[in-house]
Structure 1
Amino acid sequence: MGRDGVLVALMAALTESHLRMLANPGAYPDSTTYPHDGTGQDHDSLGLFQMRPAAGWGTVAQLMDPTYQVAAFLGGPTGPNHGSPRGLLDIPDWQQLPKGAAAQAVEVSAFPDRYAQHEPVARAILERLTTSPGPGTPDGGSGTPVSSRVVFPLPAGTWTRASRFGTRTHPVTGVRTLHAGVDYAAPAGTPMLALADGVVSYAGPDPRAGNLLVIDHTLTGSDGPQRMASAYAHLSDGSTTVAEGDVVTAGSQVAQVGSTGQSTGPHLHLQIHPGGFDAAPVDPEPWLATHSPTALDGSAVLPATGTCPTGATS
């Protein structure tokens, strides 16, 4: 395949599933019995490339295997579908096509223009995976991926706001102090998603935050690229799937909601630090509204202003 083929595959998987193995309990309840990173609801689509059993891509058991999905997407003489449906190697002169068009030729999506927008992130991931870091450059010298896409860090419909940003009496310590983020109550095990493309700068324990994850981002804007960090606290034990130095993409699952540290119940505590984690935090909700957060299906997810529902806080 070469790097071009791997790049096309990454672009397709980023677009279709944000590089996650998705089960589909609505169409195939048994798909949830296989290892998976989350669930989707697009017709009867499954897995990394959202392949459909009804379209002949394979059985549920086959499509819930990431190795099989990659082999099916690549196709060719050794592919499992023998050219029907067509994999990338079954597309005549695919190397001459724009990368997004090559991905579309396999996926046959109703939204063919989506794939090209993921090429910069796919290139950053490929570079990260195939470049040996140099001394003092944990990211191989490529820097944090520059991105303009921001998503809400929890799936739509899974959460309620439990505590806003600002000074308050801490529910565990009883001390009045700054609540440096916003708490979103959600069931334990709810997928926690990366807010934007970035590089993990910390993944580990914290006395108050329990299991803490910090991601560095560089976001484009009217004033040019701006550095910022997002922090996610009280994550479930053993649910963090990334380590320091890992490149992540917007909307990819990196952990699960938990109740570790100083917490009264399962929830995500989200902090936003323009300028980096060493800089002062700001209220996440106005920041998110400015940057147009979306759910993975593209719908807006921030609620209208109003009274705060009760729920777990930290």
Structure 2
Amino acid sequence: MLKKAVAVVAAILLLGPMMGLVGIALIANPAANAHCTISGNIMLGEIPDELTVTTAGGVTFTLNKKQLTHAATIIETGAGIDGVGVNGIRIALVAALTESTLRQLANTGTYPASGDYPNDGNGSDHDSLGLFQMRPQAGWGTVAELMDTTYQARAFFGGPDGPNYPSPRGLLDIPGWEQLDPGEAAQAVEVSAYPDRYQDYRPVADSILDALTKPSNGTGAGSSGSEITGETVPETSEVVFPLPEGAWVQTDVFGPRTDPITGEAAFHSGIDLGAPGGTAILAAADGVVTVAEFSGGYGGLIVVEHTVDGQTVATAYGHMWQDGIHVTAGDHVTAGQHIGDVGSSGRSTGNHLHFEVRPGGTNGEAIDPTPWLTDHDATDLLEPSGSSPDQCRGA
């Protein structure tokens, strides 16, 4: 296929301010080991007696049932808060693993009374307490509150209904947290003197999600698309541009930018392609759908996993309205198939497609889609214009 540029189309149709995010169903007490819905088709299953896990740095250790019960409390709490989703829960698990290895720690040296509450041992980091090592002196809560694991999880997630709102900031209070690496997002809440340590626990968090949750097909929330379908995704026949020729204009690029909603510095994990509402979104390659749901700042989100040049890669498509998602998880799609419609849900200021490329699969770290599309001869590729009109930008 030949690479070609297309002319910038005139007048992008606009919608109003961003819509509210769709909530996630509240689930039951994990101690009951009930099989309860978390988000979409993901279920919280029984808590195993132990789980052996390995960090990104190669350290292997075993979590006991009490630690895994604390993880289930974090999952349960996040599932009941609008806008958190699976990725927010993953970030909270990364934070609690790093801070306490999922232990509810007292601190009798600073707060003798903390030892009177149920705990998993004694910590000694300044005046920090609990799963997330929160400090009463920093305003996170009282000793009694912070010795409650559910309270700590609610405080970490934050948001307008969080017990610590508006300060200190929880995850939902961090502008653009959805586009941050999980380790960076955890650090943004914890504000640790050792910010690089969080990323080491990303694979452990995924292992916990796999062990404690399952979609209706029996695979955990940390799994990739090939694991969901139980088969290898065939090599794609081609790679195509995700919007029809002549129907769009690029409005934002991958990388550092000023967030169009908050005005603060942020990192943009994809490219934004402004187009009239309802414009067909096309699968960039043959593959299997791994996500088709509302997901925090992405609004209506579809993720498709492919095999390209023998490697697993996922493409993500954001900001569709609820009725603009035309596929479900587990569907097989072909390159150029109409999978959704352009919208402006989630953290968006107007109709556009937010498009990402994630080497490694559904949970991979996003790269710049533009050279990837160019390298794979995608049609209708527009060289970045550098224009970033606020009316069609978003997460």
**2-structure distance, mates of 1:134, 1:308:** 43
1:291 equivalenced with 2:376 (yes/no): yes
**1-structure distance, mates of 2:366, 2:393:** 18
Partner of 1:250: 335
Q: Residue 242 of structure 1: CA displacement?
A: 0.8
The residue identity in structure 1 corresponding to 2:251 is A
The residue identity in structure 2 corresponding to 1:145 is P
Q: CA 1:265/1:143 → structure 2, altered by over 3 Å: closer, same or farther?
A: same
Q: Residue 145 of structure 1: CA displacement?
A: 2.2
Which of 335, 338, 355 is 1:270 aligned to? 355
Which of 155, 166, 189 is 2:244 aligned to? 155
1:307 equivalenced with 2:386 (yes/no): yes
**1-structure distance, mates of 2:372, 2:318:** 18
Instruction: Tell me the alpha carbon deviations over residues 103-128 of structure 1, each in whole angstroms, 9 at most, x when there is no partner.
Output: xxxxxxxxxxxxxxxxxxxxxxxxxx
Say which SS state the counterpart of residue 288 (structure 1) adopts.
helix
1:145 equivalenced with 2:218 (yes/no): no
Say which SS state the counterpart of residue 320 (structure 2) adopts.
coil
Of all paired residues, the percent bearing the same amino acid is 42
Q: TM-score, normalised by structure 2?
A: 0.41
**1-structure distance, mates of 2:238, 2:218:** 31
1:227 equivalenced with 2:308 (yes/no): no
Say which SS state the counterpart of residue 152 (structure 1) adopts.
coil
Say which SS state the counterpart of residue 157 (structure 1) adopts.
coil
Contact 1:168 1:179 in 2 (8 A): yes
**2-structure distance, mates of 1:277, 1:198:** 12
Q: CA 1:252/1:170 → structure 2, altered by over 3 Å: closer, same or farther?
A: same
**2-structure distance, mates of 1:181, 1:148:** 23
1:198 equivalenced with 2:287 (yes/no): yes
The residue identity in structure 1 corresponding to 2:273 is Y
Partner of 1:121: none
Q: Which has the higher contact order (CA 8 A, sep 6+)?
A: 2
Contact 2:280 2:340 in 1 (8 A): yes
Contact 1:189 1:236 in 2 (8 A): no
Which of 296, 300, 310 is 1:211 aligned to? 300
The residue identity in structure 1 corresponding to 2:266 is T
**1-structure distance, mates of 2:378, 2:258:** 29
Contact 2:358 2:365 in 1 (8 A): yes
Contact 1:236 1:255 in 2 (8 A): no
Q: Residue 290 of structure 1: CA displacement?
A: 0.5
Q: CA 1:290/1:207 → structure 2, altered by over 3 Å: closer, same or farther?
A: same
Contact 2:228 2:290 in 1 (8 A): no
The residue identity in structure 1 corresponding to 2:383 is A
Q: Residue 142 of structure 1: CA displacement?
A: 3.2
1:282 equivalenced with 2:361 (yes/no): no
Say which SS state the counterpart of residue 374 (structure 2) adopts.
helix
**2-structure distance, mates of 1:306, 1:173:** 23
Say which SS state the counterpart of residue 287 (structure 1) adopts.
helix
Say which SS state the counterpart of residue 178 (structure 1) adopts.
strand
Say which SS state the counterpart of residue 147 (structure 1) adopts.
coil
Q: CA 1:309/1:176 → structure 2, altered by over 3 Å: closer, same or farther?
A: closer
- Equivalent pairs counted in the alignment come to 171
Q: Residue 173 of structure 1: CA displacement?
A: 2.4
Q: CA 1:134/1:269 → structure 2, altered by over 3 Å: closer, same or farther?
A: closer
Contact 1:188 1:236 in 2 (8 A): no
**2-structure distance, mates of 1:210, 1:306:** 26
Say which SS state the counterpart of residue 213 (structure 1) adopts.
strand
Gaps of 5+ in 1: 1-132, 295-300
**2-structure distance, mates of 1:153, 1:251:** 7
For 1:177-192, what aligned pairs fall within 5 Å after superposition?
177-192=266-281
Say which SS state the counterpart of residue 304 (structure 2) adopts.
strand
Q: Which has the larger radius of gyration?
A: 2
The residue identity in structure 2 corresponding to 1:307 is G
Q: Residue 309 of structure 1: CA displacement?
A: 5.6
**2-structure distance, mates of 1:235, 1:155:** 16
Gaps of 5+ in 2: 1-215, 220-226
Contact 1:237 1:258 in 2 (8 A): no
Contact 2:305 2:315 in 1 (8 A): yes
Q: Residue 276 of structure 1: CA displacement?
A: 1.5
Q: Residue 306 of structure 1: CA displacement?
A: 3.8
Q: Residue 267 of structure 1: CA displacement?
A: 0.1
**2-structure distance, mates of 1:214, 1:173:** 26
